[in-house]
């Protein structure tokens, strides 16, 4: 396991420097036998995915953790998470896009999944709301908020919508806050929220017509 981590860490450093590499290059840098390295990572694509995920997770933990210090409101904490995520992507865009590309192209089911990292960020930001919202609502909330954080959101705003980074950030903050506010409202008025979200029955429509 120590050898596995050493290879990933060395590859992650090369990625952050914007360098391309082979499994053999990383093995030499990590002072690991090439045969051993290929046993852990038969292809460089596998190593790149592991390394990019490792690099991004470490960067985000550090940057976002610092940004959350001193913020108490869940709305302010969400804003800081989105701002820190955007800064991290801007500073290490090559690594993020590499991870996204390799993840999309990967057919290997043994490749690492990214769900834990983003969930951990949101838990750090708004985990205190879990008791108030309950497990089901909190899970829905974090799933929805995941759409506003990370390289996928940045790609949509920049490459698809074609707006500035500043405008994109404000839209993401606005959208995240709207969803948070709606979920808090639903939790505080569960009966009325459930009624309003129910589809109207035929009998209900008929009654409404008679009244009209």
* Tally of domains within the chain: 1
- At 205 the pLDDT is 54
Q: Is residue 38 part of a domain?
A: no
Full residue range of the structural domain in which residue 156 is found: 70-101+108-198
**What is the rounded CA–CA span in Å between residue 111 and residue 132?**
35
Q: Is pTM, for the whole model, over 0.75? A: no
Q: Is residue 162 part of a domain?
A: yes
- At 211 the pLDDT is 45
Give the residue carrying structure tokens 């839209």: 171
- At 147 the pLDDT is 93
- At 202 the pLDDT is 58
Q: Is residue 51 part of a domain?
A: no
Q: 17-26 long-range contacts, Cβ below 8 Å, gap at least 24? A: 18/94, 23/47
Whole-angstrom CA distances from 98 to 57, 127, 145 are 14, 30, 23
- At 198 the pLDDT is 53
Q: Is residue 157 part of a domain?
A: yes
- At 2 the pLDDT is 87
Asked whether the CA dihedral 120, 126, 130, 134 is positive or negative, the reply is negative
**What is the rounded CA–CA span in Å between residue 119 and residue 142?**
7
HEC secondary structure over 119-170: HHHHHHHHHHHHHHHCHHHHHHHHHHHHHHCCHHHHHHHHHHHCCCHHHHHH
Write out residues in the chain with pLDDT < 70, as ranges. Answer: 102-103, 105-116, 190-212
The DSSP result for 40-93, as a single string, is: H-SSHHHHHHHHHHHHHHHHHHHHHHHHHTT--SHHHHHHHHHHHHHHHHHHTH
Q: Is residue 173 part of a domain?
A: yes
Q: What is the pLDDT of residues 57-108, one digit of tens each?
A: 777 777 777 778 888 899 999 999 999 889 888 887 777 877 777 667 656 5
Which among 106, 111, 103 is positioned nearest to 152, based on CA atoms? 103
Residue 66 CB coordination number (10 Å) = 11
Q: Is residue 19 part of a domain?
A: no
**What is the rounded CA–CA span in Å between residue 63 and residue 75?**
18
Q: What are phi and psi of 20, to 5 degrees?
A: -90, 155
User: What is the longest distance spanned by two Cα atoms in the chain?
Assistant: 82
Q: Is residue 11 part of a domain?
A: no
Residue 138 CB coordination number (10 Å) = 20
Q: Is residue 1 part of a domain?
A: no
């Amino acid at each position: 396991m120590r050898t596995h981590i050493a290879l990933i860490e060395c590859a992650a450093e090369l990625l952050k420097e914007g360098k391309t590499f082979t499994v053999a290059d990383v093995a030499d840098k990590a002072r690991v036998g090439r045969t051993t390295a290929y046993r852990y990572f038969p292809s460089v694509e596998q190593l790149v995915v592991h390394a990019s995920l490792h690099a991004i997770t470490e960067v985000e933990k550090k940057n976002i953790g610092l940004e959350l210090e001193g913020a108490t409101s869940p709305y302010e904490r969400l804003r800081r998470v989105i701002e820190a995520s955007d800064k991290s992507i801007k500073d290490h865009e090559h690594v993020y896009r590499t991870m996204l590309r390799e993840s999309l192209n990967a057919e290997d089911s043994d490749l690492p999944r990214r769900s834990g990292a983003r969930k951990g960020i949101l838990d750090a930001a708004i985990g205190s709301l879990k008791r108030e919202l309950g497990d089901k609502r909190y899970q829905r909330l974090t799933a929805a908020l995941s759409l506003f954080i990370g390289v996928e959101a940045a790609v949509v705003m920049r490459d698809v919508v074609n707006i500035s980074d500043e405008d994109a950030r404000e839209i993401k903050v606005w959208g995240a806050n709207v969803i948070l506010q709606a979920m808090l409202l639903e939790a505080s008025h569960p009966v009325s929220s459930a009624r309003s979200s129910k589809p109207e029955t035929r009998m209900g429509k008929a009654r409404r017509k008679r009244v009209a």
